[in-house]
Amino acid sequence: MDIKKFCFGSVMNTEAVVLDIKESNKNDMPYLKIGFQNELTYELKKKDIIYGLGENVRGINKKGWIYESFCSDEFEHTEDRKSIYAAHNFLILQGSEIFGVFIDCPGKVIFDLGYTKGDLMCIKVPENNFDLYIIQGNSLKEIAKNFRELVGKSYIAPKWAFGYQQSRWGYKNKEDILNVVEGFKKNDIPIDGVCLDIDYMERFKDFTIDKEKFGDFENFVKNLKSQGIRLIPIIDAGVKIEKGYDVYDEGVENGYFCVDKNNKPFVAAVWPGKVHFPDFLNEDVRAWFGEKYKYLIDKGIEGFWNDMNEPAIFYTEKSLKQVVDKAYESKDKNLDVHSFFELNDSFLSISNRMEDYKSFYHRVHGKIIRHDKVHNLYGYNMTRAAAEAFEKIAPNKRFLIFSRSSAIGMHRYGGIWTGDNKAWWSSLELNIKMMPNLNICGFIYSGADTGGFACDCTEDLLIRWNEFSMFTPLYRNHSANDTRNQEPYSFSPSTTSALRTIIENRYAYIPYIYSEYMKACMENECYFKPMTFEYEDDNLIEDQLLVGDSLMIAPVYKQNAFGRYVYLPEEMVFWNMVSYQNRSFQVLPKGHHYIEVELEATPIFIRKDKILVLGKHSSCVDYLDNKELDLIAFVDERACYNYYDDDGITKEYNNQDFQFKISIEKKDNDYEIDLYAIENCIVKKLNLTIIDTQGKEFKKELFI
């Protein structure tokens, strides 16, 4: 058996794990030592690498910092932070030995990865109730795959969700949305979705639509859809306290909200002012809340984003009173440095206080559980509520759903976006480094706010960021209301044109991106991988990634850089791509290179004996016509590709359903090509470009 389970105390079933693993005796525990208060320790060597922990700050290698899994509404993603929105408690250690560790626990977990002591990894669970899984395997890839088998298949998004999405907090009415759509059409930029932020709601109430700003919503949705554009509304965790509002009334009547110590619905304040939190840990509550999505689905909606579900708390009555009292006490006083900063801090720390998370309760299977002990399951189960409802509403249909807060387990129900980043170059760098770790933890459909959420974006940052986001399954430009506009047409004509080309490139890459994404989901593999997952003996390169099986990318993420260093672990084909339509390939030898990368260029590397599949762009995913595909193969000995495609709408996917399988083998001065296609193959023609190690190109057309 490759997975061993050890139990500490008694822990609530988080339903993160789908395999039934028998508990092992702690005396037989490999790798880790059990210390004081069940701390798990491991002696670190200088060059050990720790992958995983999904959504977190810092590098791909997590070694050398302390991380706390406690889902937090944290808009600073700077390297001094310990927690952001998620709890992804899986890591893989690579050193003289390799193994994976998963802490299955609904509450806080502390991963001290050589922070307190440089040579010690120490994992602590303050509540002391958790299940530990140790995952073994012969390679990093195998361990990651074994882990994914343990936690179950990742959520699969509909194909249209691979199109470009435009979003902004501040599109306040239909006219604003239509202007955005017009901006894309006028500038001939492909687009598949526009997100609706909280402004579409009536007084920030979930499952309501502001009739003045978004009247005749159904026809509005229909009209846009006829142009290939879907609207994606936001749903918040907190339910506004307002008599006569059905969600509130029903929730109170049926006891569906989390309660305070007096068994009264717990009151916190978020967007709409005072709210109650649905008790998503409860099956009935999930069924009830999930059913509410139908209100919007009946109006033609096919995708959602779930926000503020850590859950975020702006303030509680108690915390507000404390700071207001303090302010009154300070009135007319001569505040010195200490008392002034104490007052100042009390306001700054009024949100998301541990004290508040300790003051409300869930009722699960007749048991009362204090929220902080199961905190990390909240966003997970909100998204699960939606997914379970979708399954009931339209069992064979794929919906788009992505969440802000998440924990392992939720990866089966939805994707994530990585929250409130900034229009900073360092946020782009963090985005690049976070993607492989998210994949390792099972979150394949994911992406960041392209261009940055907070702060003002610059044209060059937006261009560089799009050059990376064109590879992320969720490709969404989102920004906050008080920032400079960052739609692709908001800057100079040359920037609009550069962004149009990059977005077109994305659409042309969808045959490859979708095929690789689907295979990753169905076969428990990673779509984004650290370099070492394929080149295990090499040093880890933090700013180069493998995308699917055929590509390596080396994004530029520094301002005013028109080139960068790249390390090739083997010979590769380099394509300094501006437009996917203009191709020139160069074989680069293994080793270090400095490559020139113009602002408009995206460096692409095709691995040896691998094949890249390209189509053509269109105005949206629904209009893609991939009857004819281009295959670019770098062949030394033999390159193979299994091309997966399906309708992208239903759940009738199958990991054996390859449209075609191709193998290209070098034979002296010729190539032997084997092509197998299914009977009703969607693809009718393949245009092959085969590049050999001398850089010589050979072209051939194949008809299916």
Binding site for ligand MIG (CB under 6 A): 169, 197-198, 234, 307-308, 404, 419-420, 453, 478
Cβ proximity to ligand MIG: between 477 and 618 the closer is 477
H helices of 605-695, where? none
Residue 456 exposed, middle or buried by CB count within 10 Å (0-12, 13-18, 19+): middle
Cβ proximity to ligand MIG: between 400 and 553 the closer is 400
CB 619 within 8 A of CB 228: yes
Cβ proximity to ligand MIG: between 70 and 507 the closer is 70
Cα gap 537→4, rounded to integer Å: 26
Q: Which amino acid is at 411?
A: H
Cβ proximity to ligand MIG: between 282 and 319 the closer is 319
The H or E element that residue 325 is part of is: helix 317-330
Cα gap 104→15, rounded to integer Å: 9
Could you identify the residue written with the tokens 């989390």? 258
Cα gap 437→111, rounded to integer Å: 15
Q: Which amino acid is at 194?
A: V
Query: Taking the complex as a whole, how short is the minimal distance between the CB of residue 374 and ligand MIG, in angstroms?
Result: 22
Query: Taking the complex as a whole, how short is the minimal distance between the CB of residue 315 and ligand MIG, in angstroms?
Result: 13
Q: Which amino acid is at 250?
A: E
How many CA atoms, within 13 angstroms, populate the side-chain half-sphere of residue 41? 15
Coil/strand/helix, residue 166: strand
CB 245 within 8 A of CB 205: yes
Contacts of 72 (CB under 8 A, 6+ apart): 83, 84, 85, 310, 352
Query: Taking the complex as a whole, how short is the minimal distance between the CB of residue 199 and ligand MIG, in angstroms?
Result: 8
Cβ proximity to ligand MIG: between 285 and 308 the closer is 308
Cβ proximity to ligand MIG: between 228 and 272 the closer is 272
Cβ proximity to ligand MIG: between 169 and 605 the closer is 169
What's CA 633's distance to the chain center, in Å? 30
Query: Taking the complex as a whole, how short is the minimal distance between the CB of residue 478 and ligand MIG, in angstroms?
Result: 6
Cα gap 499→496, rounded to integer Å: 5
Cβ proximity to ligand MIG: between 6 and 271 the closer is 271
Query: Taking the complex as a whole, how short is the minimal distance between the CB of residue 400 and ligand MIG, in angstroms?
Result: 15
Query: Taking the complex as a whole, how short is the minimal distance between the CB of residue 326 and ligand MIG, in angstroms?
Result: 24
Cα gap 118→392, rounded to integer Å: 51
Q: Hey, what are 30's tokens?
A: 């490999």
Query: Taking the complex as a whole, how short is the minimal distance between the CB of residue 30 and ligand MIG, in angstroms?
Result: 40
Cα gap 507→164, rounded to integer Å: 8
Q: Give the 3-state secondary structure percentages of the chain, helix then strand then coil, rounded to 5.
A: 25, 30, 45
Query: Taking the complex as a whole, how short is the minimal distance between the CB of residue 77 and ligand MIG, in angstroms?
Result: 12
Query: Taking the complex as a whole, how short is the minimal distance between the CB of residue 310 and ligand MIG, in angstroms?
Result: 10
Residue 115 exposed, middle or buried by CB count within 10 Å (0-12, 13-18, 19+): middle
Residue ranges of E strands in 581-684: 585-588, 591-596, 602-606, 610-614, 628-634, 638-644, 658-667, 670-677
Residue 396 exposed, middle or buried by CB count within 10 Å (0-12, 13-18, 19+): exposed
Cβ proximity to ligand MIG: between 308 and 552 the closer is 308
Q: Hey, what are 342's tokens?
A: 């104490």
DSSP state of 160: G
CB 94 within 8 A of CB 49: yes
Query: Taking the complex as a whole, how short is the minimal distance between the CB of residue 165 and ligand MIG, in angstroms?
Result: 12
Cβ proximity to ligand MIG: between 74 and 104 the closer is 74
Query: Taking the complex as a whole, how short is the minimal distance between the CB of residue 158 and ligand MIG, in angstroms?
Result: 21
Count of helix runs (H) and strand runs (E) in the chain: 14, 41
Query: Taking the complex as a whole, how short is the minimal distance between the CB of residue 480 and ligand MIG, in angstroms?
Result: 6
Cβ proximity to ligand MIG: between 197 and 543 the closer is 197
Q: Report the candidate in 646, 531, 654, 660 with the shortest Cα–Cα distance to residue 153.
A: 654
Query: Taking the complex as a whole, how short is the minimal distance between the CB of residue 403 and ligand MIG, in angstroms?
Result: 11
List Cα–Cα distances, 95 to 30, 59, 98, 526, 538, in angstroms.
15, 17, 6, 21, 12
The H or E element that residue 219 is part of is: helix 217-226
Cβ proximity to ligand MIG: between 77 and 478 the closer is 478
Cβ proximity to ligand MIG: between 146 and 352 the closer is 352
Cβ proximity to ligand MIG: between 193 and 511 the closer is 193
Strand partners, 362: 369
Cα R_g (the chain), whole angstroms:
26
Q: Hey, what are 281's tokens?
A: 């840990």
Query: Taking the complex as a whole, how short is the minimal distance between the CB of residue 197 and ligand MIG, in angstroms?
Result: 5
Cβ proximity to ligand MIG: between 169 and 465 the closer is 169
How many CA atoms, within 13 angstroms, populate the side-chain half-sphere of residue 148? 28
Q: Which residue is nearest to ligand MIG (CB)?
A: 169
End-to-end CA distance of the chain: 44
Query: Taking the complex as a whole, how short is the minimal distance between the CB of residue 445 and ligand MIG, in angstroms?
Result: 17
Cβ proximity to ligand MIG: between 77 and 610 the closer is 77
Cα gap 600→700, rounded to integer Å: 30
Query: Taking the complex as a whole, how short is the minimal distance between the CB of residue 85 and ligand MIG, in angstroms?
Result: 8
